[in-house]
Amino acid sequence: MPHRILSDSGVSSHRRPILDSIDSPVDLRALPESQLPEVASELRGFLVECVSKTGGHLAAGLGVVELTIGLHYVFDTPRDRLVWDVGHQAYPHKILTGRRDRMCTLRQKDGVSGFPRRAESEYDAFGVGHSSTSISAALGMALAAKQRGERRTVIAIIGDGALGAGMAFEALNHAGSMDVDLVVILNDNEMSISPPVGAISNHLARLLSGKLYTTVREGSKTALRGMPQLRHLVGRWEEHMKGMLMPSTLFEELGFNYIGPVDGHDLDGLVRTLRNIKDMPGQRLLHIVTTKGRGFEPAEGQPVTYHGVTPFNRHTGELIKGKSKGPSYTQIFGGWLSDTAAQDERLVGITPAMCEGSGLTAFSKRFPERFFDVGIAEQHAVTLAAGMACEGLKPVVAIYSSFLQRAYDQLVHDVALQNLDVTFAVDRGGLVGPDGATHAGGFDLSFCRPIPNLIILAPSNENDCRRMLRTAFEYEGPAMVRYPRGTGPGVAIDASAPALPIGRGEVVRQGRRLALLAFGSLVAPALEAAAVFDATVADMRFVKPLDAALILELAESHEILVTLEENAIAGGAGSGVAELLSAHGRVIRCLHLGLPDTYIEHAEHAEQLASIGLDTAGVIASIRAELARSNWTDSPETPEPSRQQGVGV
């Protein structure tokens, strides 16, 4: 059956699409150039159709359809390398590189990843998921090719937002001094750099990338080599003439030959410019201007909403929402932040380009003068907060767990070492479902637990999340509240509830012989498993400082302790419990359950937990296996688990 394609105009076609004949870029390059606009229309429609069923990233991919086609049409991929920055715009690339028929499995268990992944395809030259890495990786590939005597072009595609990160400029600065075959494509989709693109700028871009200009430019360098003063004068004249017409000066100073800006949706002009650039020597930067969500009106009008979406009606754009399960932890944080800011004028909110994702939208509108979105600059965000704290403000840094990894030195050196009063609201702690390994927050407890002065809290429900945020904010020092993606178990929120006593856990179920010490999100499965074994359950609440008195009391009154956390076992909360017991000379059998020493691939969150034995059935199976090893006697009869679970040890 032919695909039912939604074109740019919304017109359906029932004839066999050209796209169905493209199983690799080799097939694309066999087409006459006149058919490329039709391929673009079909590709855009197919992309909308796929993502409407699976959910995923949409607006960014729609914006680079023409660019993706042009790159694979002009360059000899995969011999020539394409390095996508972040990678949420790479769906069209996946469709054209042999994964079209599997796009219906996007972000699902054992399906196509939502990001470029080297193990998935030879066309995915570099695995990504976080921003601003493309130029560094591409330069590394270009230098490797030169060292090995291999002729290939390496192309880095980076957005204007990602270009603002320090790492991107570090790479540009280094690349400009190297003699390599490197192309950087700046995808400007927010109009944040360039003026409007028109006929003149398009003409100039083609002119500046053409053979005549390149020949004259390179020839003049040779002819004037023995006349340094005149050569310098001609070079400065060229730079100033280009600087008056386009934003080229910065890139030229860094050593790049700048071309642009060009219309990234003019496929004919884009292909011609790419052909010219392909034949140019050295480092060159092509600046294109695109529109996020291009060709799908709902996404063009709301590119933030359609950046990452749930399944939707592809005809109307209406999002298909599941049954409401109450507020997410992100929403709880957003509500607390606004409420607290209204009561304390010292509070300021900081985020590294994740206003919507971190729940800061309402705060940013209500307190715009106290809201700081620093862009994709996690290191700067943390040290900015440190500077504010030095002057008596109380900054709250809203950041994803996996993004905090990028600011580790700043957390250690600039905040904790100086014992500054900064609150970290760390979202996406633990596994994150379809976003997969690149976005999972599986290491924060391990890398933050050794930091002096820092306290770490992990809520198990909605009300505790609110109370912990208050606790962290009122604490006069660095504090981190780490909460998972999604919703909690449905506990009602009491906005007036007081702060928690520092370092105190709570026994939430009293049992015998076996005690489960659960941290954060795993309190719920711990309670369900405890009912099977008549075990005690402690909601530990604090990862640092641990409730030493409670742990020692449970060790004294029970025979086996089980720790549970949605974090790497190595160095995590369970390790902290073992260290405490050892320091007090208490010998007791312990079972540590958590994330194993491997990356967990994309799937639904429940599927991920089940695959590593951290769902209820898996916890029960792990405990039963431990009891068998311990020659446990007088244990209650327990039902066999429905399936064999992996043990997270």
Residue 120, CA distances (Å) to 87, 98, 113 in order: 14, 10, 8
The predicted structure's pLDDT at residue 237 = 53
Residue 164 has pLDDT above 90, yes or no: no
H/E stretch holding 443 reads none
The predicted structure's pLDDT at residue 8 = 43
**Could you tell me if 415 and 384 lie in one domain?**
yes
**Could you tell me if 360 and 295 lie in one domain?**
no
- Looking at residues 617-625, what average pLDDT do you find? 97
Give the domain CATH number at 78.
3.40.50.970
**Could you tell me if 95 and 189 lie in one domain?**
yes
Our answer to whether residue 378 is catalytic in this structure is: yes
Q: 218 vs 438, which has greater pLDDT? A: 438
With respect to residue 99, please indicate whether it lies within any of the assigned structural domains: yes
**Could you tell me if 37 and 144 lie in one domain?**
yes
- How many helices (H) and strands (E) the chain has is answered by 26, 21
Q: 201 vs 350, which has greater pLDDT? A: 350
The predicted structure's pLDDT at residue 645 = 34
Distance CA 402, CA 405 (A): 5
Our answer to whether residue 278 is catalytic in this structure is: no
pLDDT confidence tier of residue 212, bands split at 50, 70 and 90? low
Catalytically annotated residue among 42, 66, 378, 462: 378
Give the domain CATH number at 586.
3.40.50.920
**Could you tell me if 567 and 457 lie in one domain?**
no
In single-letter form, the type of residue at position 554 comes to: L
Task: Work out the angle at residue 614's Cα, subtended by the Cα atoms of residues 613 and 618, and round it to the nearest 5 degrees.
Answer: 45
The predicted structure's pLDDT at residue 235 = 60
The predicted structure's pLDDT at residue 321 = 78
With respect to residue 529, please indicate whether it lies within any of the assigned structural domains: yes
Residue 539, CA distances (Å) to 492, 521, 524, 620 in order: 17, 10, 10, 18
Distance CA 64, CA 49 (A): 17
The predicted structure's pLDDT at residue 222 = 59
- The secondary structure of residue 487, as a DSSP letter, is B
Reported as a single tens digit per residue, the pLDDT across 35-62 is: 999 999 999 999 999 999 999 999 999 9
Residue 231 has pLDDT above 80, yes or no: no
Mean pLDDT of the chain: 89
The predicted structure's pLDDT at residue 253 = 86
Residue 176 has pLDDT above 60, yes or no: yes
In single-letter form, the type of residue at position 134 comes to: S
Which segment of 220-224, 481-485, 624-628 scores lowest on mean pLDDT?
Answer: 220-224
Q: Give the count of domains, the chain.
A: 3
**Could you tell me if 468 and 547 lie in one domain?**
no
The predicted structure's pLDDT at residue 642 = 35
**Could you tell me if 68 and 117 lie in one domain?**
yes
Catalytically annotated residue among 292, 314, 394, 449: 292
Across-strand partners of 536?
A: 515
Contact 412, 385 (CB under 8 A): no
Catalytically annotated residue among 406, 466, 541, 624: 406
With respect to residue 580, please indicate whether it lies within any of the assigned structural domains: yes
With respect to residue 248, please indicate whether it lies within any of the assigned structural domains: no
pLDDT confidence tier of residue 647, bands split at 50, 70 and 90? very low
- Looking at residues 581-608, what average pLDDT do you find? 97
User: What is the extent of the structural domain holding 170?
Assistant: 5-195+261-309
Handedness of CA 357, 361, 362, 368 (dihedral sign): positive
Cis peptide bond prior to 78, omega within 30° of 0: yes
With respect to residue 562, please indicate whether it lies within any of the assigned structural domains: yes
With respect to residue 100, please indicate whether it lies within any of the assigned structural domains: yes
**Could you tell me if 134 and 10 lie in one domain?**
yes
With respect to residue 439, please indicate whether it lies within any of the assigned structural domains: yes
Q: 247 vs 140, which has greater pLDDT? A: 140
**Could you tell me if 424 and 573 lie in one domain?**
no
Model pTM above 0.75: yes
Reported as a single tens digit per residue, the pLDDT across 279-289 is: 999 999 999 99
With respect to residue 495, please indicate whether it lies within any of the assigned structural domains: no
Sheet holding 513-518, edge to edge: 506-509, 536-539, 513-518, 558-568, 589-595
Our answer to whether residue 211 is catalytic in this structure is: no
The predicted structure's pLDDT at residue 74 = 98
The predicted structure's pLDDT at residue 7 = 41
Structure tokens at 84: 């996508």
Give 240's Cβ-side CA count (13 Å radius).
6
How do strand 455-457 and strand 513-518 relate by DSSP bridges? unpaired
- Looking at residues 533-542, what average pLDDT do you find? 98
Please provide residue 391's backbone torsions phi and psi, each rounded to the nearest 5 degrees. -105, 20
Distance CA 429, CA 435 (A): 13
**Could you tell me if 470 and 531 lie in one domain?**
no
Neighbours of 390 (CB within 10 A): 12
**Could you tell me if 391 and 304 lie in one domain?**
no
**Could you tell me if 335 and 396 lie in one domain?**
yes
